[in-house]
Amino acid sequence: SSLLLMSGVVVTVGLCRRLARRRLRSRPHLFAFLVEMFSTFQICACTNELSLLGSVEPKPHTALTLTYGFTVLHGLTLAGSTCNPCGILQPMSGGRTSLRMGGLKIAAQFVAAVLARVFMHFIWSLEMAEPHFGALSQGCSSPMQTTEVQAFCIELLFSVVFQLAVLRAESVNPKYRVHLIALLITMLVYAGGNLTGAIFNPALAFSLHADCFYDKFLSYSLVYWIAPCFGKFLILYVF
């Protein structure tokens, strides 16, 4: 049921992106907003569902295999979308994207994060699959299983590694690049998923753990918003 749900999200988002591409080419700002929103919604909704499958046996092989598979699927179906506020910083700082367009895309990503959370909570309330039982009663299922300083350093390091790999992989054939990025994300999740969740995406972090941001806004914004953005700035101005 979970796999059918995530596949349905991918197919629906693909149809919405195609419809927007056909009908809204003459309105670039609305087109950019909707495409970024649809794409981020797909990643957030699927990752919300994947987070429930982490305890499926055999652990952690099932969760890591699904992470790799759906990361490849996202890469193949969401070409041209960033889906990460940190990824907007580079074209904005280089002047390739205007401040207005960049802000519009970041807004679209956080709107999608909220919509994906609301949608998945509605799906979980229907209890169509075993992992959905009791999912809504967890509240703040904190992914931070270490100190704030260590969590900040881990998310910062993972953001630097990921963003640097993306830049280095730009010259690689796209059909191979998708698998390389998916493999890297899977390795990072394996290495730090039990400590911070290995998210390094502010919009995705908010979609997954909004309750934790409400309870401990300062610590969670420091680890899951500021650390990834700081990592991106390190890539831009140091490397």
Check residue 237 and give its pLDDT. Answer: 80
- Profile the chain (239 residues) by mean pLDDT over runs of 10 residues: 92 95 88 96 95 78 91 93 90 83 95 96 85 74 88 95 88 89 95 90 94 89 94 83
How far is the C-alpha of 114 from the C-alpha of 98, rounded, in Å? 25
174: CATH: 1.20.1080.10
Give yes or no for a contact between 47 and 204, defined as CB atoms under 8 angstroms apart: yes
Number of domains in the chain: 1
Check residue 138 and give its pLDDT. Answer: 67
Give yes or no for a contact between 55 and 64, defined as CB atoms under 8 angstroms apart: no
DSSP secondary structure letters along 217-239: HHHHHIIIIIHHHHHHHHHHHT-
How far is the C-alpha of 68 from the C-alpha of 182, rounded, in Å? 5
- Domain interval for residue 199: 2-238
**What is the value of pTM for the model shown?**
0.93
User: Using one digit for the tens of pLDDT, what is the confidence trace for 185-200?
Assistant: 999 999 988 899 999 9
Residue 59, Ramachandran bin (φ over 0: left; ψ between -120 and 50: alpha; else beta): beta
